Amino acid sequence: MTNIIDGKIVAENVVETVKRFTAELTGNHGVQPGLAVVIVGEDPASQVYVSSKSKKAKECGFLSVQHTLPADTSEADLLKLIGELNADKTIHGILVQLPLPGHIDSGKIIQAIAPEKDVDGFSFINVGKLGTGEVDSAFVPCTPAGSMLLIERVRGKDLSGLNAVVVGRSNIVGKPMANLLLAANCTVTIAHSRTKDLPALARTADILVAAVGRPEMIKGDWVKPGATVIDVGINRIPAPEKGEGKSRLVGDVDFAGASQAAGAITPVPGGVGPMTIAMLMANTLVSASRSAGVEPPAF
């Protein structure tokens, strides 16, 4: 019987820990975690993401600050705002919602965020720490951090001797995911669009992570019997069976097929998705704890 990994339950556990430690940090040390979210322009999807992040921050007991800037905001003005947030002692996490308008250099903006407030884990300092195995002092990007927690719930923290295949090499998911698996003593292969005989490689994986953004690309017969499958993809595809113009969400894995072989698998939706915002809250709490000289909780 395949174990369907419920990301909602694990995310709720993380958020409960965040709430509890936030109350202690605020009550005993007078430090309330502060998260600032910056959005430029009126992109509807970004508005939804930002709203959910701000709502969750308030639910956790954080100081939640949102800066909504017009689409024609200059790069200089955005950099000025980030400089002010870097200097603001009440703010422990700074998140700039991507994508940014075309006239703004996203890389320059991300690298302007102070590494100790970079709760998205995108600054070169945090990327470098993760890449050199300094996982405990790095901020890890939220989606791979959440995916790793789901893997640990199934396999434990020490993954020695297991083969892991990560399909996808993005800086946001694929590469940090591979570094986390390496730090847990996996033997890791990163696969991508140029990989030869991807199905055969996937079948070697005890842990298979799909992060390519292509609907149901990973077929059921690519999955090694008993493997743990983590599906990071969120794709919207037509669903004519629901009615004209309707759609549904699917992952990068053919869930029905892969479920026949996998020992454990994340669904879409309800798997990795809820973990992303939960880990953003966790990272913000860790930043606030460090600023107060308090040992942060383990997740």
CATH of the domain at 148: 3.40.50.720
Same domain, 267 and 202: yes
Which of 98, 114, 130 delimits the end of a domain?
114
Give the number of other CB atoms < 10 A from CB of residue 18. 28
Q: Given this model, what pLDDT does residue 243 score?
A: 81
Return the percentage of the chain with pLDDT > 70, whole number: 100
Same domain, 97 and 159: no
> What's the structural domain count of the chain?
2
| Mean of all residue pLDDT scores within the chain | 96
Same domain, 146 and 264: yes
Q: Convert the pLDDT of each residue in 91-101 to its tens digit.
A: 999 999 999 99
Asked whether the predicted pLDDT for residue 14 surpasses 90, the reply is yes
Q: Using H for helix, E for strand and C for coil, what is the string for 24-61?
A: HHHHHHCCCCEEEEEEECCCHHHHHHHHHHHHHHHHCC
Q: Which residue range is the domain that position 85 belongs to?
A: 29-114
In a domain, 120, yes or no: no
Residues 53, 56, 117, 175: which is the catalytic one? Answer: 53
Same domain, 173 and 90: no
Residues 120, 231, 252, 254: which is the catalytic one? Answer: 120
In a domain, 284, yes or no: no
Residue 97 among the catalytic residues: yes
Alpha-carbon distance 189 to 163, whole Å? 8
In a domain, 152, yes or no: yes
Which DSSP letter does residue 157 get? S
Residue 120 among the catalytic residues: yes
The torsion angle over the Cα atoms of residues 54, 60, 65 and 68, rounded to 10 degrees, is 0
Reported pTM: 0.95
From the list 278, 270, 272, the residue with the least C-alpha distance to 297 is 278
Q: Given this model, what pLDDT does residue 42 score?
A: 85
In a domain, 36, yes or no: yes
In a domain, 12, yes or no: no
Same domain, 104 and 163: no
Same domain, 110 and 55: yes
Give the confidence band of 70 by pLDDT, cuts at 50, 70, 90: very high
Same domain, 168 and 267: yes
Q: Convert the pLDDT of each residue in 15-30 to its tens digit.
A: 999 999 999 999 999 9
In a domain, 15, yes or no: no
In a domain, 48, yes or no: yes
- Find the helix packing angle between 142-155 and 7-29, rounded to 10°: 110
CB 232 within 8 A of CB 210: yes
Sign of the torsion formed by the C-alpha atoms of 185, 233, 227 and 6: positive
Same domain, 197 and 264: yes
Give the confidence band of 78 by pLDDT, cuts at 50, 70, 90: very high
Which DSSP letter does residue 247 get? E
Collapsing DSSP to helix, strand or coil, 273 comes out as helix
In a domain, 180, yes or no: yes
Same domain, 95 and 159: no
Give the number of other CB atoms < 10 A from CB of residue 156. 10
CATH classification of the domain holding 41: 3.40.50.10860
From the list 209, 219, 215, 126, the residue with the least C-alpha distance to 173 is 209
